[in-house]
Amino acid sequence: MALPPRPTLFDFHGVSMTKYFTDNWDNVQNFKARPDDILLATYPKAGNTWVSYVLDLLYFSQMSSERQESVSLHERVPFLELQMPGFPSGVDELNKLTTSPRIIKTHLPVQFIPKSFWEQNSKIIYVARNAKDSAVSYFHFDRMNKVQPEPGDWSSFLQRFIEGKMVFGSWYEHVRVWWEKKKTSSNILYLFYEDLIENTEQELSRLCSFLGLSPSEELKKQVIEKVLFDNMKKNKMVNGSNDEVFDFKISPFMRKGKVGDWRNHFTVEQNEQFDEDYEKKMKNTDLEFRTVL
């Protein structure tokens, strides 16, 4: 399919967005969540694919091998706000799902989450990743994803990241406002990419206890093995290789999967400027990230 030119960013209720995530707005806002839905919310590039695969395996890997072998992860875990011409919208995909619970991907900031998720008290898992690695990962993603805005060169991209002129807005706002929301909402579990890397087993246990699941040791072992970066990278159902908007000649979707790759991208000067600005933006929050392990 011939792809349209890359989209441009515009201000959408105070958040930078592209039309692919706003064109279906009324249907997204009127989405009917269910009490057993699991919403997996992240700023882009924080590990949504990783955790959605964990969830899919926990709930469904023992049910059918066909699902694992022939249904791609983005069909199993629809992307709520996505609306691309020529493809079913995320909302349509969700309404068609016959399995439950529904595992739902979103990158929306808190204020854009459809109200039915709060009314139904659906479980929400938020995954956050440190700003520097998020920026690097997002840069490579925008290079290879033909339906994202032109990234430009690394230094101009980083400047835009600092200014919050990214699809889904400011990283700083996203992670902070979700963190504040979690403090008053017992239906939110807030996880960190860095913890998942450091101790996948421990984070898996936290996830299971939040969800009220008690998987067997055997299933836990299988999940941990299947979601290893190298195994996911080889798995065509989860590595993005059947997504036609990605250009793998530019960069893979499963790129590095590391904490600290920013050190290969930031110059000393960029790092100093970034840190100085970060201090100001994050001074009123107790949210803390690790940029190295």
Strands 15-17 and 10-12, bridge-based pairing: antiparallel
Contact (CB, 8 A) for 122 and 38: yes
**Any contact of residue 47 with ligand PPS (CB under 6 A)?**
yes
Mark the segment that binds ligand PPS (CB under 6 A) among 2-10, 136-144, 169-177, 280-288: 136-144
Contact (CB, 8 A) for 247 and 144: yes
- Exactly one of 143, 220, 255, 281 binds ligand PPS (CB under 6 A); which one? 255
**Any contact of residue 256 with ligand PPS (CB under 6 A)?**
yes
Site string for ligand PPS, 178-217 (x = CB under 6 A): ----------------------------------------
Long-range contacts of 236-242 (CB under 8 A, 24+ apart): 236/72, 237/68, 237/69, 237/70, 237/71, 237/72, 237/73, 238/49, 238/53, 238/72, 238/73, 240/49, 242/72
Enumerate helices (H) and strands (E) in the chain, giving the number of each: 14, 6
Which single residue is written with the structure tokens 């399919």?
Answer: 1
Report the amino acid identity of residue 18: T
Q: Nearer Cβ to ligand PPS, position 47 or 215?
A: 47
Known catalytic residue at 140: no
**Any contact of residue 229 with ligand PPS (CB under 6 A)?**
yes
**Any contact of residue 55 with ligand PPS (CB under 6 A)?**
no
Mark the segment that binds ligand PPS (CB under 6 A) among 33-41, 60-68, 158-166, 224-232: 224-232
Contacts with ligand PPS, residue ranges (CB under 6 A): 42, 44-50, 133, 137, 140-141, 227, 229, 232, 254-257, 261
